[in-house]
Amino acid sequence: MAAQMAIIADGVNEEQVRRADFRALFRSHFRFVCVTLRRLGVRDSDVEDVAQEVFVSVHRKLDSYDATRPLELWLFGFCLRTASTYRRLARHTRLVHEETDVEIAHSEPLADDQIAAEQNRRMVLAALDAIDNDRRAVFVMHDLNEFPASQIAEMLALPVNTVYSRLRLAREEFRKAVFRIRAAQGSR
């Protein structure tokens, strides 16, 4: 705060400091937001647009951020709400995981390990799509983003035992979805 006051005294106004803080937050957390949105069900083709929506909301609420809490957990809350709105819109619903059926199109051939990594990524995203949304949020927060259950419970306003219960069920749904996807791939 003292550093900001010194900057303000040197002719830089408070709004300029706020914009600089937001730019730094945007640059350092854009990838986190995009990855999180994709894990929460936003299609690859829409991730950057939806991320922009997240950051518009973040910019509006930046003054309300409590610096004693983890920034990524706060950002996850924005991602969760924005992804939920995204999924509710009829134009974003899909009957089949069409993205899992799309062949990878590149001008240059990919190495085998890059192809396998892309296939695994698509399988994980398809399996995540099979998980109930409430359980999916807990699964992504805990197992993929590595937030502790106590912080998840606080953010979602749930008892810790409910977080663990949803996590257990989500892991089972995920495991079953991966099994189904692998079985379907084996039958092709």
User: SS3 letters for the chain?
Assistant: CHHHHHHHHCCCCHHHHHHHHHHHHHHHHHHHHHHHHHHCCCCHHHHHHHHHHHHHHHHHHHHHCCCCCCHHHHHHHHHHHHHHHHHHCHHHCCCCCHHHHCCCCCCCCCCHHHHHHHHHHHHHHHHHHCCCHHHHHHHHHHHHCCCCHHHHHHHHCCCHHHHHHHHHHHHHHHHHHHHHHHHHHHCC
23-82 pLDDT, tens per residue? 888 999 999 999 999 999 898 889 999 999 999 999 998 888 888 888 899 999 999 999
The answer to which of 1-10, 77-86, 115-124, 178-187 has the lowest mean pLDDT is 1-10
Quote the mean pLDDT of the chain. Answer: 82
Average pLDDT over residues 84-91: 79
Q: Going from the N-terminus, what domains does the chain have, and what CATH number goes with each?
A: 1-95 (1.10.1740.10), 107-188 (1.10.10.10)
